[in-house]
Structure 1
Amino acid sequence: METSQIISAIVFGIVIGALGLLAKPRGQHIGLRWTITVGIVAALAGTCIAAGLGLAETKGVNWIEWLIQIVLAAAGVAALGQFRARA
């Protein structure tokens, strides 16, 4: 993974983490820091998965990598919300 991919994954992770606050149901008690952290981790994991599948190098926007990152972020926010609700 190149440095530019890591930096873009972190920036994208911050954005999808912040957007996760808008998409979550009101009953969840996940703060901004947690959603951004989950977004960053999901974006980095999505970049690694896309690279492992040979999908990381494309010309233009890599929609498949973004889709993987978004799905991982949504799953992460939902899982954290369930975990925090039980605790």
Structure 2
Amino acid sequence: MRTTLDLPDPVFRDLKVKAAAEGVTLKQLLTGFVEKGLYGTDMAKSKPVRSPLPPPLKSRGVTIPSLTNAEIDEIFLEEDMERWGIKTKS
């Protein structure tokens, strides 16, 4: 089933960062959150979590740069291309 969510940009950015850190897709991460909320367990453990995320950088006094969704997508695309050995524009 397909649906649309309207999330604030900072929440969406944090979701994308968390998904990348855990090595799962955004869909897998959100499905796990919904299942955990509905059933009290994470039934969508298709991939093991590498390690828990550290506390948010804000709590350590570090400034987090503000990026647009397009900028984040570009970063992920470049990382994916690098991972697959595809030359990027330099």
TM-score (normalised: structure 1): 0.28
Q: Which has the higher contact order (CA 8 A, sep 6+)?
A: 1
The structure with more radius of gyration: 2
The structure richer in helix per residue is: 1
